[in-house]
Amino acid sequence: MERVSFDPILPATPKVFILGTMPGKQSLRKQQYYANHRNSFWKIIYELTGAVFSENYAERIDTLKRNHIAIWDICQFGERKTSLDTDIKNEAPNPINEIVKLFPSVKQILFNGKKAEKLYRTYFSEIANIKYETVLSTSPANARFSLREKLNNWKTAMV
């Protein structure tokens, strides 16, 4: 089943650019990043920013923008039968580095999981003066790590 990514969430002056792989089934159905309620992405973002947690998607996007956090997916489109990253095939990348170069405010790229990093390195080269970090995937499939472990990992990695 072919999947297509969402537009990036880009604040005026992003400092951190978080890159995932591609939307899962629930995200596609709701047309929202990280829509699976078992995905810990939003809980981690709210903990890191100190904002009051909200289920409202528009408020979540505002929280990212207020905190200079951009998000996007490596894959513009690809095939995936399930929501597992290991199922991604025949993918084509979004123009990640082109977007990053338009925003000299970006100081760090965070890969939400190892598959996002692997896909990035398949299609792109690192850009000078940007710190690259791979953090524990927020996916519910990454169940061997607790929310606390994921949060601590993200806290350590994020500038």
- The residues carrying an active-site annotation are 39
Token couple for 15? 């400092």
Identify the CA nearest to 71 among candidates 39, 90, 80, 148.
39
Burial class (CB within 10 angstroms; exposed 0-12, middle 13-18, buried 19+) of 40: buried
Q: List strands edge to edge, sheet with 75-79.
A: 2-4, 75-79, 89-93
What are the φ/ψ torsions at residue 29 (nearest 5 degrees)?
-65, -40
| CB 78, CB 88: distance < 8 Å | yes
Helices (H), 23-159: 25-30, 41-49, 57-66, 96-102, 114-123, 147-157
β-pairing, 89-93 with 75-79? antiparallel
